[in-house]
C-alpha cells in the first residue's frame, strides 16, 4: 500500500482527541498522542512511500500506532492507496500549473495525473456564438486543454479578438496551448465536419438555436461522439445532458421540457427563426453558462462525474438568469427523439397480451414507480397534490400531465384531473391512475399510426371474437379529433387505467355501459323504478358515502336503468337536477360510483368550483322518474369484462380495445391503460 492523504483534509485538536475536517463524514481519533503523531506522519503520506517501508524501522509500539492511524484514515476515505496508479505522463511544469485541477481529480479517483492528461489531450471543439462562447473557450483554456477548436456561428456577435487575448494570456503559463478559430455557417456539411473532427463537442449560444441543438444531438448519437450543450431559452440557461453515445440525449430533454411548457397546439418544436437575447444574459450570467458546460466536460472526460455517484447522464441543470437560482432535473427518453414506424399487428398483439398477462401491481409498488415520473419541468407527469381543494366530505387530489406530442393548446394550463377517495392516500392513488389515463391518450406518435388513402388507423382487438382489425385512430385517440385548449379537454368515454389489465378493461366497459344507459333515456317509454339505497347492503367506504349524502343531499334519488342493457346502471338526481349515470359489475358497485359522483357534485357546488363537478349528463325527464321501487338483486353474479362484452355484443354492439400510449417509459410503469371503443 502507498498511502496518500487527500489534499482537502485538515485536523484540529478536540480535547483529548484529534478531529479531522473534510467533506465527508466526521472522523475523531482519541488519545493525546494523536495530534503529534499526525503532524509528523502527514508529510510522508504523499503516495511515494510504501506503508511497510514507512513503518519498517519503527519500534513495535509506534509501528502499531502508525498502522492504526493510517487504517482509520483509509477506512474513512481520507487516505487512498495509489499503489496501482497509472504512470504520471505530465511534466513538472504541467503538474505545477494545473495542480488544483489534478488535486480535484485526485480527491475522487486514482491516477489523477493520467486522467488530467487524458482531458488535456482530448480534441475539444467549442461551437456557438456570443458571450457564452467567450466564457466556454476561456474556461477550457484555463482548465488545461492543449488544443482547442472554436467554431464561431452567426447567431449573435462574437468578439474573436477577445478569444485571441484569452489564448495569449493562457499561453503565458502554458506555451504549448493552441487555439484554432474558424467561422461556422450551419450547413449540413459543416455540422458533420464539426462532429467528426472532435473527441468532445461543446455547444453554447446566447440565443435558443434549437434546430442546431437537435441536429447536433442526432449527429453525435449517430457517430457516437459525446456532446454537451448550454442553451439559453426564455431567460433560463439549460446545460446538459451528456449525450451523444449512451442514454437519452438533448433532443429528449428538450421534447420533455417543451411538453411541459405553455404552447399552442401543434407548435413548431424547433423554430429556426431569430429570437432576441435574454435581457438577463450579460458577462457574469454568460460566464455561468460557459463555465458550467466546461466543468461538466472536465468531469466527464476525467471520470469524476461517474465516481461521485452524483447526477446521472440524463440530467439537465436549469439556471434562472435573473435570480441565478439553479435546479437539477432528471429526464426520461422521449419517444419522439428517435426513429419510429407504424405499429404492426404483431406489435399491437404483443402489447395487448402483455397487458392481460402481467400480474397486477401492488398499490405500494405502483406508487413508488409512478412517483419517479413526476417533475413539473421535464416529467411525463407534472404535479400531484391537494393544492387548495376542499377536503370534505371527499378527499381530493389534483393531477396535471405533460402533453408529449403537442396535441393541445397549453397556454392557459396543462390537462389535469381530480382523484377522490375516503382518505388522502386513496385520493392520490386514484389521481395517479387518472394521470396515466390522460397521458396515454395524449401520447400518440403519428409516426406509429397506419397511413393509407383514408384516415390514419390503429390495430384494435375485437373483444368478442378476439380478431384484430384496423380502426380509425381518432376512435382510439380522441384528442386527434379535438385539438383544443387543454383546460377543456375531457377524458374520453371508455378510457381506463388500473393496476391490472382485466380491471382496466372492466372499468372501461362499465364507463361505456353508463354512457349507453344515459344515451337510451331519450328512447325510453316507461318510467324507471327508484332504487332505495337503504335496502342495499353497503359496507366500508360505500356506507360512509351513503351517510354523507343523507346529510349533504337529502333530496338525492336513484333510478334503476338496468333494464336498458342488462348491466346494473343507475341514474342520480338531486331535485330536478340530473347529476349523472353510473354502472357497475353489480348494483353495489354502481351505487358506490353514484354516491361518489353525488358527493363530488355537492362539494363542487358548496366550494364554488364548478370545474370539480362531474361532467354534465343528459337530463332524466320527470316522466321517466318512476314511483315504483326496485330492490338491488343480490343474487346476480358479478360481471367481469368477458360477460360485459357478451352482453353488449348480444345487443348488436361491436366492442374493440386498444392498449394506448406510445411512450415506452410510461407504459413500462403501468401497461394497463386501455381505450375501449363501442359502436
Mean pLDDT along residues 318-326? 94
- Report which of residues 158 and 247 the model is more confident about: 158
Predicted pLDDT of residue 287: 92
- Main-chain phi, psi angles of 164, to 5 degrees: -65, -40
Mean pLDDT along residues 97-120? 94
- Asked if residue 512 belongs to a domain, the reply is no
Question: Could you report how far apart the first and last alpha carbons of the chain are, in Å?
Answer: 77
- Report which of residues 549 and 25 the model is more confident about: 549
Q: In sequence order, what are the beta bridge partners of 124?
A: 148, 200
- The CA distances from residue 509 to 362, 494, 499, 523, 641, in Å, are 23, 6, 16, 22, 7
pLDDT of 245 > 90? The answer is: no
Continuous segment of H or E residues that includes residue 302: helix 283-302
pLDDT of 283 > 90? The answer is: no
Claim to verify: residue 430 and residue 450 sit in the same structural domain:
yes
Q: How far apart are alpha carbons 103 and 116 in whole angstroms?
A: 10
Claim to verify: residue 392 and residue 479 sit in the same structural domain:
yes
pLDDT of 8 > 90? The answer is: no
Claim to verify: residue 303 and residue 385 sit in the same structural domain:
no
- Asked if residue 339 belongs to a domain, the reply is no
- CA-wise closest residue to 232 among 289, 295, 271: 289
- Asked if residue 236 belongs to a domain, the reply is yes
pLDDT-based confidence at 254, cuts 50/70/90? very high
Task: Return the percentage of the chain with pLDDT > 90, whole number.
Answer: 82
Contact 463, 428 (CB under 8 A): no
pLDDT-based confidence at 255, cuts 50/70/90? very high
pLDDT of 244 > 90? The answer is: no
At CA 265, angle to CA 262 and CA 266, rounded to 5? 115
pLDDT-based confidence at 312, cuts 50/70/90? low
Predicted pLDDT of residue 454: 86
Claim to verify: residue 192 and residue 324 sit in the same structural domain:
yes
Count the Cβ atoms, other than its own, within 10 Å of residue 606: 12
Claim to verify: residue 532 and residue 625 sit in the same structural domain:
yes
Count the Cβ atoms, other than its own, within 10 Å of residue 105: 23
Q: How many domains does the chain have?
A: 5
Predicted pLDDT of residue 625: 96
Per-residue b or e along 169-195, where b marks 16 or more CB atoms closer than 10 Å to that residue's CB:
ebeeebeebebebeebeeeeebbeebb
Q: How far apart are alpha carbons 180 and 170 in whole angstroms?
A: 14
Contact 447, 458 (CB under 8 A): no
Predicted pLDDT of residue 634: 58
pLDDT of 271 > 90? The answer is: no
| SS3 state at 141 | helix
Q: How far apart are alpha carbons 401 and 411 in whole angstroms?
A: 14
Mean pLDDT along residues 357-368? 93
- Asked if residue 518 belongs to a domain, the reply is no
pLDDT of 307 > 70? The answer is: no
The CATH number of the domain where 263 resides is what? 3.40.50.720
- DSSP secondary structure string for all residues of 354-384: HHHHSPPPPHHHHHHHHHTTB-TTT-SEEEE
At CA 89, angle to CA 114 and CA 101, rounded to 5? 50
| SS3 state at 447 | helix
Predicted pLDDT of residue 240: 86
| SS3 state at 538 | coil
- Asked if residue 427 belongs to a domain, the reply is yes
Continuous segment of H or E residues that includes residue 458: strand 457-462
Claim to verify: residue 46 and residue 152 sit in the same structural domain:
no
Summarised one tens digit per residue, pLDDT across range 17-59 is: 999 998 888 899 999 999 999 999 999 999 889 999 999 989 9
- The CA distances from residue 199 to 94, 133, 244, 558, in Å, are 22, 18, 11, 72
Cα 494 to its chain centre, rounded Å, is 26
pTM of the model: 0.88
pLDDT-based confidence at 425, cuts 50/70/90? very high
Domain boundaries, position 564: 524-634
Claim to verify: residue 204 and residue 289 sit in the same structural domain:
yes
Predicted pLDDT of residue 633: 67
- Asked if residue 63 belongs to a domain, the reply is yes
Summarised one tens digit per residue, pLDDT across range 455-500 is: 999 999 999 999 999 999 999 999 999 778 998 899 999 999 999 9
pLDDT of 584 > 80? The answer is: yes
The four Cα atoms 373, 378, 380, 386 give a dihedral, to 10 degrees, of: 70
Task: Return the percentage of the chain with pLDDT > 70, whole number.
Answer: 97
- Asked if residue 337 belongs to a domain, the reply is no
Q: In this structure, what C-alpha cell is assigned to residue 36?
A: 503529534
Predicted pLDDT of residue 7: 84
The CATH number of the domain where 559 resides is what? 3.30.160
The domain boundary, picked from 102, 121, 140, lies at 121
Claim to verify: residue 424 and residue 567 sit in the same structural domain:
no
Claim to verify: residue 270 and residue 322 sit in the same structural domain:
yes
Predicted pLDDT of residue 637: 67
Predicted pLDDT of residue 142: 97
- Asked if residue 154 belongs to a domain, the reply is yes
pLDDT of 395 > 90? The answer is: yes
- CA-wise closest residue to 376 among 408, 407, 411, 400: 400
Q: Give every CB contact of residue 476 below 8 A, 6+ residues apart in sequence.
A: 458, 460, 658, 660, 675, 677
* 152 cis-preceded (ω within 30 degrees of 0): no
Q: How far apart are alpha carbons 136 and 296 in whole angstroms?
A: 11
pLDDT of 249 > 60? The answer is: yes
Claim to verify: residue 186 and residue 140 sit in the same structural domain:
yes
Summarised one tens digit per residue, pLDDT across range 139-196 is: 999 999 999 999 999 999 999 999 999 999 999 999 999 999 999 998 999 999 999 9
Claim to verify: residue 289 and residue 158 sit in the same structural domain:
yes
Continuous segment of H or E residues that includes residue 432: helix 424-442
Report helix, strand and coil shares of the chain as percent, to nearest 5. Answer: 40, 20, 40
The CATH number of the domain where 39 resides is what? 3.90.930
- Report which of residues 619 and 636 the model is more confident about: 619
Angle between helices 210-223 and 188-196 (to 10 degrees): 50
| SS3 state at 334 | coil
Cα 171 to its chain centre, rounded Å, is 44
Predicted pLDDT of residue 274: 59
Claim to verify: residue 218 and residue 314 sit in the same structural domain:
yes
The domain boundary, picked from 303, 331, 359, lies at 331
Mean pLDDT along residues 255-284? 85
Cα 215 to its chain centre, rounded Å, is 23
Mean pLDDT along residues 547-572? 95
Amino acid at each position: 500500500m502507498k498511502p496518500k492523504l487527500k489534499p482537502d483534509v485538515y485536523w484540529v485538536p478536540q480535547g483529548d482527541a484529534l478531529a479531522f475536517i473534510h467533506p465527508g463524514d466526521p472522523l475523531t481519533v482519541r488519545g493525546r498522542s494523536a495530534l503529534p503523531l499526525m503532524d509528523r506522519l502527514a508529510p510522508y503520506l504523499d503516495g511515494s512511500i510504501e506503508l511497510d517501508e514507512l513503518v519498517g524501522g519503527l519500534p513495535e509500539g509506534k509501528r502499531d500506532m502508525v498502522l492504526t492511524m493510517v487504517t482509520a484514515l483509509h477506512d474513512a476515505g481520507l487516505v487512498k492507496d495509489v499503489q496501482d496508479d497509472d504512470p504520471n505522463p505530465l511534466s513538472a511544469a504541467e503538474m505545477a500549473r494545473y495542480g488544483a485541477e489534478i488535486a480535484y481529480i485526485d480527491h475522487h479517483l486514482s491516477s489523477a495525473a493520467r486522467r488530467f492528461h487524458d482531458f488535456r489531450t482530448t480534441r475539444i471543439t467549442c461551437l456557438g456564438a456570443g458571450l457564452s462562447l467567450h466564457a466556454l473557450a476561456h474556461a477550457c483554456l484555463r482548465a488545461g486543454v492543449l488544443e482547442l477548436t472554436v467554431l464561431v456561428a452567426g447567431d449573435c456577435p462574437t468578439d474573436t479578438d477577445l478569444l485571441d487575448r484569452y489564448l495569449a494570456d493562457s499561453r503565458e503559463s502554458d506555451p504549448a496551448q493552441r487555439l484554432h478559430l474558424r467561422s461556422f455557417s450551419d450547413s449540413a456539411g459543416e455540422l458533420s465536419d464539426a462532429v467528426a473532427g472532435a473527441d468532445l463537442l461543446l455547444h453554447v449560444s446566447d440565443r435558443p438555436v434549437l434546430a442546431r441543438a437537435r441536429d447536433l444531438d442526432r449527429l453525435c448519437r449517430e457517430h457516437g461522439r459525446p456532446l454537451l450543450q448550454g442553451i439559453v431559452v426564455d431567460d433560463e440557461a439549460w446545460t446538459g445532458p451528456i449525450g451523444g453515445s449512451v442514454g437519452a440525449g438533448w433532443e429528449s430533454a428538450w421534447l420533455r421540457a417543451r411538453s411541459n411548457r405553455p404552447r399552442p397546439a401543434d407548435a413548431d418544436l424547433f423554430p429556426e427563426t431569430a429570437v432576441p437575447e435574454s435581457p438577463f444574459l450579460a458577462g457574469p450570467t454568460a460566464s455561468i453558462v460557459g463555465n458550467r458546460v466546461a466543468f461538466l466536460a472536465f468531469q466527464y472526460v476525467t471520470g469524476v462525474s461517474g465516481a461521485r455517484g452524483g447526477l446521472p447522464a440524463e440530467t439537465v441543470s436549469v439556471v434562472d438568469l435573473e435570480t441565478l437560482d439553479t435546479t437539477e432535473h432528471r429526464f426520461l427518453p422521449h419517444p419522439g427523439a428517435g426513429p419510429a414506424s407504424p405499429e404492426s399487428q404483431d406489435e399491437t398483439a404483443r402489447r395487448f397480451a402483455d397487458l392481460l398477462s402481467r400480474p397486477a401491481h401492488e398499490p405500494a409498488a405502483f406508487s413508488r414507480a409512478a412517483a419517479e415520473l413526476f417533475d413539473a419541468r421535464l416529467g411525463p407527469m407534472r404535479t400531484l397534490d391537494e393544492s387548495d381543494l376542499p377536503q370534505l366530505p371527499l378527499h381530493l387530489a389534483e393531477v396535471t400531465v405533460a402533453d408529449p406530442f403537442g396535441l393541445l393548446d397549453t397556454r392557459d394550463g396543462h390537462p389535469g384531473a381530480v382523484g377522490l377517495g375516503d382518505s388522502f392516500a386513496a385520493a392520490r392513488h386514484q389521481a395517479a391512475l387518472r394521470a396515466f389515463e390522460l397521458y396515454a391518450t395524449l401520447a400518440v406518435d403519428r409516426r406509429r399510426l397506419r397511413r393509407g388513402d383514408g384516415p390514419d388507423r390503429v390495430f384494435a382487438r375485437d373483444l368478442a371474437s378476439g380478431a384484430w382489425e384496423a380502426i380509425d385512430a381518432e376512435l382510439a385517440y380522441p384528442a386527434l379529433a379535438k385539438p383544443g385548449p387543454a383546460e377543456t379537454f375531457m377524458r374520453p368515454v371508455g378510457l381506463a387505467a388500473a393496476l391490472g389489465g382485466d380491471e382496466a378493461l372492466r372499468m372501461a366497459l362499465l364507463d361505456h355501459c353508463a354512457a349507453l344507459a344515459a344515451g337510451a333515456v331519450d328512447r325510453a317509454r316507461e318510467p324507471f323504478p327508484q332504487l332505495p339505497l337503504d335496502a342495499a347492503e353497503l359496507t366500508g367506504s360505500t356506507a360512509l358515502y351513503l351517510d354523507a349524502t343523507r346529510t349533504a343531499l337529502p333530496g338525492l334519488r336513484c333510478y334503476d336503468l338496468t333494464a336498458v342493457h342488462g348491466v346494473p346502471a343507475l341514474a342520480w338526481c338531486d331535485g330536478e337536477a340530473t347529476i349523472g349515470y353510473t354502472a357497475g359489475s353489480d348494483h353495489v358497485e354502481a351505487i358506490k360510483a353514484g354516491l361518489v359522483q353525488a358527493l363530488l357534485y355537492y362539494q363542487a357546488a358548496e366550494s364554488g368550483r364548478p370545474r370539480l363537478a362531474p361532467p354534465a349528463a343528459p337530463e332524466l325527464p320527470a316522466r321517466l322518474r318512476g314511483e315504483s321501487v326496485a330492490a338491488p338483486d343480490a343474487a346476480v353474479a358479478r360481471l367481469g369484462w368477458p360477460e360485459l362484452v357478451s352482453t353488449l355484443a348480444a345487443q348488436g354492439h361491436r366492442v374493440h380495445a386498444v392498449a394506448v400510449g406510445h411512450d415506452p417509459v410510461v407504459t413500462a410503469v403501468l401497461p394497463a391503460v386501455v381505450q375501449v371503443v363501442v359502436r
